[in-house]
Amino acid sequence: MPLYAGVELGGTKCVCTLARGHQEILEQITVPTTAPDETLAAIERVLLEWQDNEPVDALGIGSFGPIDLDRDSSTYGRITTTPKPGWAGTDVAMRLRRALSVPIGFDTDVNGAALAEAKWGAGQGLRDLAYVTVGTGVGVGLVGDGKPVHGLGHPEAGHIRIARMPGDNWPGSCPFHGDCVEGLASGPAIKARLGVEHLHDFSSDHPVLETVAWALAQLCHALVCTAAPSTILIGGGVVTGQPHLIDRTGQLLVESLASYISLPAGRPYVQAPGLGVQAGPLGSIALAMEAAA
């Protein structure tokens, strides 16, 4: 049985996973995300200790983005325009590959999670799906024809600009686009709109949640009409705290599509991820498996 190492590089923490597959996670170690060099050195120590113990066959890295995925680019493997202090331009993939000298899979955390959900989670058996995480930002991973979707770069669907909810003209919080989906539905957006410090400061029937569900439904509408995923999974801190947001998003999506496009009958089209908090870590293992194949 091949041995895989995975790194889910997140904005606040990095989860290193050693596994033989999704059902055999051998070890999981979390490293806080601080300055780039400190963080990557800590990850390297974890990986090299595993490697010393038993040779790893491949490494998968699912990173926060945006990242450079163009193998012909001189900046392949780096984080690009992130507003996260100190991280813009940081080399992640080549550095970790040099450390381990094994094949690596490198993609966004959300593309990795989408792949894991298609292999083992709520999208098992589907060739295409979208994985949306609503937390500090709004990230979207896409699997198409069984593989993570790439092109010009990777999906960044949290940054599409949408039709606004009638009567709502709050300008949004995205420093790039104002009222894009992330600027309306992310945790920081909700906090900025309400002027609160914590999201548990408001109840599940607070009217702000309707604006969040609206923005997510418009995101889903755009996904249905472009990548046409067979299902859309929505997770992340904002949704986990307010689970009815998923149902409401699904309702508003059906209203918005206005019978022009029919969603599959007999199962919810917009649903929670099947792998829960392991979607991201198992995403890095799925990327390692692809690299080894």
- List residues near a second copy by CB under 8 A: 66, 81, 127-128, 140, 142, 144-145, 147, 149-164, 176-177, 179, 218, 221-230, 256, 258-264
CB of 137 to a second copy, least distance (A): 12
CB of 164 to a second copy, least distance (A): 7
Any idea how long the chain is? 293
Closest to a second copy by CB, 151 vs 195, is: 151
CB of 65 to a second copy, least distance (A): 10
Largest CA distance in the chain: 60
C-beta separation of 285 from 4 below 8 A: yes
Residue type present at position 20: R
Closest to a second copy by CB, 19 vs 233, is: 233
Closest to a second copy by CB, 45 vs 159, is: 159
Collapse the DSSP code of 26 into the 3-class scheme (helix H, G, I; strand E, B; otherwise coil) and give the result.
strand
> For 127-131, which contacts have Cβ atoms below 8 Å and span 24 or more sequence positions?
127/230, 128/227, 128/228, 128/229, 128/230, 129/229, 129/230, 129/231, 129/232, 129/233, 130/157, 130/220, 130/223, 130/227, 130/229, 130/231, 130/232, 130/233, 131/233, 131/235, 131/273, 131/279
Closest to a second copy by CB, 56 vs 287, is: 287
CB of 240 to a second copy, least distance (A): 24
Closest to a second copy by CB, 51 vs 173, is: 173
CB of 202 to a second copy, least distance (A): 26
